[in-house]
């Protein structure tokens, strides 16, 4: 069972915009050395939507080699084209991914029956377990409660990353959780509340800069000690919120560069952070530096 603090890893770039594999190797090892329980590559935070298929495949091969089964490696393989999602999920699982993370179709979206067929077709072909990704703020659609009920029974669908921020919805789908179907918070500001209703951890942007504390927060909750977990949640809440001053991953990459990582810039259409927000981020990092490290 996948559980714990799972980082939604950024993709570092060189000055010319190419993938910085030297820094990627450092980041992968940094997270393993600092108690991160799992690593997601090619997700929203990893700017997968602006990577070519060739770049994605190379990042997967490289990451599989570096991680070398020391922690679970989860690879984003979703698409709004079902055949492409099937093909990518099968390919990345064959390359060594431990799990694939599959987003709902976006822009064209779909109806409920189409959504169930979409995830079923992916799960039927993937050679590793599938985690569904519910983030209606980005995709324009949510996985209905009924669809979760149906899909939770598929033998190769092992969980859902729930990133709607809607605790009422999360509470409703929590009834379908079991040892074979887990839920992961997709929002760093409600990790403890989500775990109190059954989540097994978080897929986290915050963990990019605070891996140990995010791990500790989640671990307290897994032990049933929500009071201690909430102390960390509250202490890091301002940092977590300011990592979304602008669209993810702009602030977290800026924060990492401020902290001395070399993750570089962004792929267009993402642009550099405004000076006003950059100053806010610098101040909150300075104020909370002892918590972050």
Angle at 108 between CA 104 and CA 109, to 5 degrees: 35
**From the centroid of its chain, how far is CA 202?**
8
What are the structure tokens assigned to 3, written together?
Answer: 């559980």
169 tagged catalytic: no
User: Of 3, 90, 91, 133, which one is the catalytic site residue?
Assistant: 133
CA distance 174 to 1: 16
289 tagged catalytic: no
User: Of 90, 91, 161, 278, which one is the catalytic site residue?
Assistant: 161
Catalytic residues: 133, 161
């Amino acid at each position: 069972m996948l559980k714990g603090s799972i980082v939604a890893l950024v993709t570092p770039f060189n000055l010319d915009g190419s993938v910085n594999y030297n820094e990627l190797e450092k980041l992968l090892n940094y997270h393993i050395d600092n108690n991160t329980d799992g690593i997601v590559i090619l997700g929203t935070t990893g700017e997968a939507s602006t990577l070519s298929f060739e770049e994605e495949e190379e990042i997967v091969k490289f990451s599989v080699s570096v991680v070398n089964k020391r922690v679970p490696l989860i690879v984003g393989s979703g698409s709004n084209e079902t055949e492409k999602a099937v093909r990518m999920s099968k390919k990345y699982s064959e390359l060594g991914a431990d799990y694939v993370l599959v987003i709902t179709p976006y822009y064209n979206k779909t109806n409920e029956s189409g959504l169930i067929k979409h995830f079923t077709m992916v799960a039927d072909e993937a050679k590793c377990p599938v985690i569904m990704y519910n983030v209606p703020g980005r995709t324009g659609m949510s996985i209905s409660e009924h669809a979760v009920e149906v899909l939770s029974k598929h033998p190769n669908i092992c969980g859902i990353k729930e990133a709607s921020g809607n605790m009422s919805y999360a509470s409703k789908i929590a009834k379908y959780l079991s040892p074979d179907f887990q839920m992961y918070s997709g929002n760093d500001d409600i990790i403890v509340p989500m775990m109190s209703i059954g989540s097994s951890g978080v897929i986290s942007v915050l963990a990019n800069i605070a891996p140990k504390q995010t791990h500790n927060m989640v671990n307290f909750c897994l032990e049933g000690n929500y009071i201690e977990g909430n102390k960390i949640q509250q202490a890091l809440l301002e940092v977590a919120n300011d990592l979304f001053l602008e669209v993810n991953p702009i602030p977290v990459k800026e924060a990492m560069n401020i902290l001395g990582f070399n993750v570089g810039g962004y792929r267009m259409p993402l642009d550099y952070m405004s000076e006003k927000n950059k100053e806010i981020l610098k101040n909150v990092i300075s104020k909370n530096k002892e918590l972050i490290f």
